[in-house]
Structure 1
């Protein structure tokens, strides 16, 4: 007794396929391109909305006799946690490194707290963090 051969995994040839007419092919490709463009626009809108919903402002007093810098940081993926050291572009704007220390103003207590830049803060979107350099006196800063 012989064992029957296993069925083949090969697909049958596509003998009924006929090339798409040129005018239909042009219309088909235009439809695909339009759909892809619409998808890119929707993706960009969604990304911009997400960035706007996850942003904070930082008011930073770097020097004693200078006005503070007001910097906005958007697209924070880990809100409500925010660690400035994880944002190299922000550190560059503020001329800080992850090893620096700053004072941060605590609105609840009305006091300045000395913190590492590599600290995680709990924030809400749209909040303004008030920071000052260690060499800037608190009397120079308007924190309220």
Structure 2
């Protein structure tokens, strides 16, 4: 499956390669909170910045509970982000995004490659994200992996 996270004003849209709108990621007015909405506007997940700085951390919230924690493990040497489920039934599944340049990430599920997140600069010099993932591993929260890359590495990548 191929998706694109594209900035549109104060929000991001997630579309497929035929440019059909699948999701919207809206920033809440204050704080580091984002909402992932489906195409009809129904709130699916929240994405909250919990630790600022060089190694930011985030939570994905589902039904007012922490569904997944996200930690930036390294920014400069072997840039990587780790995603850990907080629900017992998913405890043995771990996703990791690894890169050598902070722009092109390999998506690993339990250390096996299942996809990628690539940073692309559009005509307006905005950073967009191309998400590729094997269909059987896709779920609604996967576009938030690209948002984690944007929040952790976006400012550094814009300044290049």
Length-normalised TM-score, structure 1:
0.23
More strand, by proportion: 2
- Say which structure is richer in helix: 1
Give the number of the structure whose alpha-carbon radius of gyration is greater.
1
Bigger RCO (CA 8 Å, 6+ sep) = 1
